[in-house]
Structure 1
Amino acid sequence: MPTRNLTIKERFNLINEVNNENINVFDAANNYKCHVRTVFRCLSNQNEITNAYDAGCRKRTRLDKNEKLSQHDELVRNFILVCQQKGIPLSANIIKQVARQKAIEINRDELMCSSMWFKRFKERINLKLGKFSGERNSINQEKVKRWKEETIPRIMMNWSNEFIYNCDETGLLYRQVPLKTYFISKTDHIGDTVFKERVSILFCVNRNGGKLPVLVIGKSVKPRDFFTGCLDNLNVDYFAQANAWMTRQIFEKWLANWHRSLVAENKKVVLILDNFKGHQVDYDNYPNITFHFLPSSTTSLTQPLDAGIIRSFKSKYMCLFVNELLQDTDSIHVSQIAKKIKLLKAINWIDSAWNSVTSETIVNCWTHFGYINSEVPYYSDLTDKLSQLSLKISTKFVEPNELLDQITFDYVNYLE
């Protein structure tokens, strides 16, 4: 029988089958097409194989037994981790260059750090190629900490969940085909025209999972595909602006419409939003809305809509978009279908996608960023003082009005 070298993953599976399923070593050798001595070697080295498998070295056929090689890998790995924390992008050539320098430092002059070495090195330390995500490295963590430890507890203590709202805008290229796709290896996967038609969308949600109608901002006041009453059955408001951006005038109109409904319902709410210049309006015109502005440049860690609500919406919109591409079987390529998509159809998809975002998703995103109703009273020391007040009044140690004034003074100082 021809024999072959087993990968670490195959050795790991072989060991589990022999130990747990009581398979005969001869049957195991036959199943994996290897020599019986290979099976016995795997069983004698099962600890090393298990550790290598857990470390991600699954496609390799050899175990690391060279201490200098392990030392060199650790030096290069630490360098990559430091660059990763600092946000420094690394290419394969940079890593190979640094690896060569590290090899010289530990007297491994024979280690050339070639492309084949880099391929093996990636497998040994489970190194992947990807993009930086988020803006966390540039965020002032002290601002985030103060917001979560001081401001959020006050908001959650003073307002019920149904009256706590958050609003934010996002852009949507409503004709653009996704740029990432799965494809069969070694086959063509060529892209097509990039469609840059965009709209801006304003979302507003509350802590209970409720949603306000979305506000869509397009470029044209009267798009060609619009007709009288085309938006009547949709939970969408439409405004026009030359660049399809949110402006102060549009934001004021949206606030005025919402405020009128709050007055009609005799409700007062708190609105959490970022300090974008388009949000800078005359707040005195909206007495039923209390505005709380997020710390500057921290929205990716403090704004619930950025915790996954907008991402969920865009994912659902993209599913509707791709389903349209799949249903049009007459077009030769996707660009021909995308050209047929008009703004009205995109707005219908926006409405459907927003309605599909569940209340559970919204509530989870609020919770993820720390907007939680604490079971323990936030002002525990104030509670103790109120208990002392009751005791002293009952025993007539002090005049009630005198001590009540002191407690009120302490409470105001605590809030400030």
Structure 2
Amino acid sequence: NNSMPPKIQKFPTKELTLKEKVELIQIQEKENLPQRKLAEKFQIGKTQVCKILKRKAEIMGIHEKQLCAPAAKRPALMVPKKQFQADIDEVMWKWFIRMRGMNLIISGPLIQEKALEVARNLGIKDFKASKGWLGSFKERHSIRSLKKPCERADVDPGDWKDSVLSLLCGYKACNIFNMDETALFFRVLPDRTLTVTGLEASGGKQKKDRITISLCVSMEGEFEVPLVIGKTAKPRCFEQIDPISLPVTWKHNKKAWMTGELFIEWLTRFNRKMANQDRKVALLLNNVPCHLNLENLSHVKLIFLPAPFTSMLQPLDQGIIANIKVHYRRRLLQTFLKRIEECEDATAALAAAKCVTVLDAIYFVDAAVREVKPSTVRRCFERCGILVNSSSGLDENTDFNGGNDTSMAELLRKIAERLHLPNVMTPDEYVAVDSNVISTECLSDNWEEDLITQIKCDAADQPDEVNSDEDDESDSSDPTSPTFTEVMHFIKGIKDYAVHHNLSDVLQKVMTLESDLDHYQPSIKQENLKDFL
């Protein structure tokens, strides 16, 4: 048989440095190379490439820590010499994060004892959790102290509004931030018979349509780039998209929720940004296990809100998140209507309505965040007793619903009529449909065993590439891209419509769009240029 597959080149086992791992990750994100090509480029095995990509968030987090640390104090983050040591390190780091998140006491001997247990469970022999290994582990992850964090309970819920000013003493309004997560059913229909408010952490029937959004905003309405967490690194709708170019930061894990690892990565990056801007800021956080009390943050002071009263004390929960979801749901309903108006029957219309992808949701989220007014944000901070540099002229009737409810009510009525929905939600129900869904990591009773199981599955599972399905029902067919000429024809149609209806604002935007697109016009072929010389 002459059609034998080509032999796969094997390379001797070697461990990449942290710098090389970061370079590998960046090349994969930029060029989207398959794992085989990456293995050849770095002369390592495909299994090693797979494990590096699976640990991408952790590796980039360590890299960020190095960049943030002062040069004289930067730890020499050496990587383990053998892959099995990397597996132990990965499990132990996740274990450490979860123990710290539960505010439990951690000692050096406890870490060593746990590392030996992990090695046994992974079937690794001759591993010694020596003091040298412990010191290296602490250096790799910039662990300065093993003492139990003591600042989570520094806010007494009984007199929060009396003590908040002293906690924020010296901070300007522009330097007081709040960060929180919320679950989002990104293409949910307003049908009570299909959706149940207050679904379990997994999201029930809607779990495949759920993403998590992490929002951070200052008292003056300055939003950080939203962090959006999905289930896969590159959903099918990202096929032609570089995730770095998205208007949000895209991350993923199997549960599509915030974890300690993602929080550390985000907070380290936020601290670095504030350091670059020479800003000392205060960050209000709700008290959940994945929100870790990081040590040695140079420019961010963490203030943890008392858990039982977070919804009353957190500005994002006082109307900002709801305001964003109003804007999001309105765009979603408008999209539903546009996609079903040409359908012949309710069944086809229902299928068309579900054709909203994660990519659509990301741009809807970005637009919704930008629609939130600074006055709305400030009013939500004031509701929590944060009155720093307060303006006296604020409207007491600030609109937290993102506009009049009649417009959304009318959209819901049209959707119900077109899709024959017998039990349509009210505007308030539709906005809050996912408000009780858990968006941060929940640990099971067997969470330590789950860490071992996961690392074993990761070692056995070698997906062909990170590109995978985010359960986008709409992605079953790939749309044909129009030509440049067709796009310009569409633009001309919009201009003609705007002129005819005297829509000057729309016309101005379309003219700008046309000018921008001119820069992307395919180059005229030059092969026969010599014929004209």
When normalised by structure 2's length, the TM-score is 0.40
1:273 aligns with 2:288: no
* CA positional deviation for 1:299: 1.1
Matched residue, 1:315: 326
Q: 2:255 is matched with which residue: 243, 251, 266? A: 243
1:347 aligns with 2:347: no
1:210 aligns with 2:222: yes
* Preserved CA contact (<8 Å) 2:293 2:302: no
* Preserved CA contact (<8 Å) 2:216 2:223: yes
Matched residue, 2:299: 288
The 1:146–1:258 alpha-carbon spacing in structure 2 relative to 1, beyond 3 Å, is: same
1:8-407 matches, cutoff 5 A: 143-150=156-163, 152-179=164-191, 195-196=206-207, 197-227=209-239, 229-232=241-244, 234-284=246-296, 286-328=297-339, 329-331=341-343, 332-333=345-346, 334-373=349-388
* Preserved CA contact (<8 Å) 1:209 1:360: yes
* Preserved CA contact (<8 Å) 1:308 1:365: yes
Separation in 2, partners of 1:191, 1:306: 26
* CA positional deviation for 1:345: 0.9
Between stretches 354-363 and 256-265, larger displacement belongs to: 256-265
Matched residue type, 1:351: D
Separation in 2, partners of 1:177, 1:372: 39
* CA positional deviation for 1:342: 1.1
**Residues 374-412 of structure 1, C-alpha deviations (whole Å, 9 max, x = no match):** 79xxxxxxxxxxxxxxxxxxxxxxxxxxxxxxxxxxxxx
**Residues 285-308 of structure 1, C-alpha deviations (whole Å, 9 max, x = no match):** x22111110012111110000000
* CA positional deviation for 1:251: 0.6
Separation in 2, partners of 1:248, 1:192: 30
Separation in 1, partners of 2:210, 2:295: 30
Which sections of structure 1, spanning at least 5 residues, go unmatched? 1-141, 181-189, 376-416
**Residues 275-323 of structure 1, C-alpha deviations (whole Å, 9 max, x = no match):** 1101124332x22111110012111110000000000011110001000
The 1:338–1:241 alpha-carbon spacing in structure 2 relative to 1, beyond 3 Å, is: farther
Matched residue type, 1:145: G
* CA positional deviation for 1:145: 3.5
**Residues 221-271 of structure 1, C-alpha deviations (whole Å, 9 max, x = no match):** 110110454455543101001100100000111112212211211221111
Separation in 1, partners of 2:365, 2:206: 18
**Residues 180-200 of structure 1, C-alpha deviations (whole Å, 9 max, x = no match):** 6xxxxxxxxx76996441001
Separation in 2, partners of 1:158, 1:191: 50
* CA positional deviation for 1:153: 1.4
* CA positional deviation for 1:155: 3.1
* Preserved CA contact (<8 Å) 2:213 2:228: yes
Separation in 1, partners of 2:239, 2:166: 47
Matched residue type, 1:146: D
Matched residue type, 2:356: I
Separation in 2, partners of 1:367, 1:170: 21
Root mean square deviation of aligned Cα: 2.3
* Preserved CA contact (<8 Å) 1:270 1:292: yes
SS of corresponding position for 1:298: helix
* Preserved CA contact (<8 Å) 2:172 2:389: no
SS of corresponding position for 1:345: helix
* Preserved CA contact (<8 Å) 2:283 2:300: yes
Separation in 1, partners of 2:280, 2:334: 41
* Preserved CA contact (<8 Å) 1:252 1:281: no
The 1:143–1:225 alpha-carbon spacing in structure 2 relative to 1, beyond 3 Å, is: same
Q: How many pairs does the alignment contain? A: 223
Matched residue type, 2:231: K
The 1:192–1:201 alpha-carbon spacing in structure 2 relative to 1, beyond 3 Å, is: closer
Task: State, as a whole percentage, how many aligned pairs show the same letter.
Answer: 30
SS of corresponding position for 2:306: coil
Separation in 2, partners of 1:342, 1:144: 41
* Preserved CA contact (<8 Å) 1:192 1:335: no
Separation in 2, partners of 1:282, 1:192: 38
Separation in 1, partners of 2:265, 2:240: 21
The 1:356–1:232 alpha-carbon spacing in structure 2 relative to 1, beyond 3 Å, is: farther
* Preserved CA contact (<8 Å) 1:144 1:301: no
* CA positional deviation for 1:357: 1.1
Separation in 2, partners of 1:279, 1:192: 30
* CA positional deviation for 1:338: 3.6
Separation in 1, partners of 2:361, 2:389: 41
Separation in 2, partners of 1:271, 1:209: 14
Separation in 2, partners of 1:191, 1:240: 26
Matched residue type, 1:168: D
Separation in 2, partners of 1:297, 1:247: 21
Separation in 1, partners of 2:314, 2:235: 33
The 1:303–1:175 alpha-carbon spacing in structure 2 relative to 1, beyond 3 Å, is: same
The 1:157–1:263 alpha-carbon spacing in structure 2 relative to 1, beyond 3 Å, is: closer
When normalised by structure 1's length, the TM-score is 0.50
Matched residue type, 1:238: W
Separation in 1, partners of 2:159, 2:195: 47
Separation in 1, partners of 2:379, 2:246: 26
* Preserved CA contact (<8 Å) 1:174 1:199: yes
The 1:362–1:258 alpha-carbon spacing in structure 2 relative to 1, beyond 3 Å, is: same
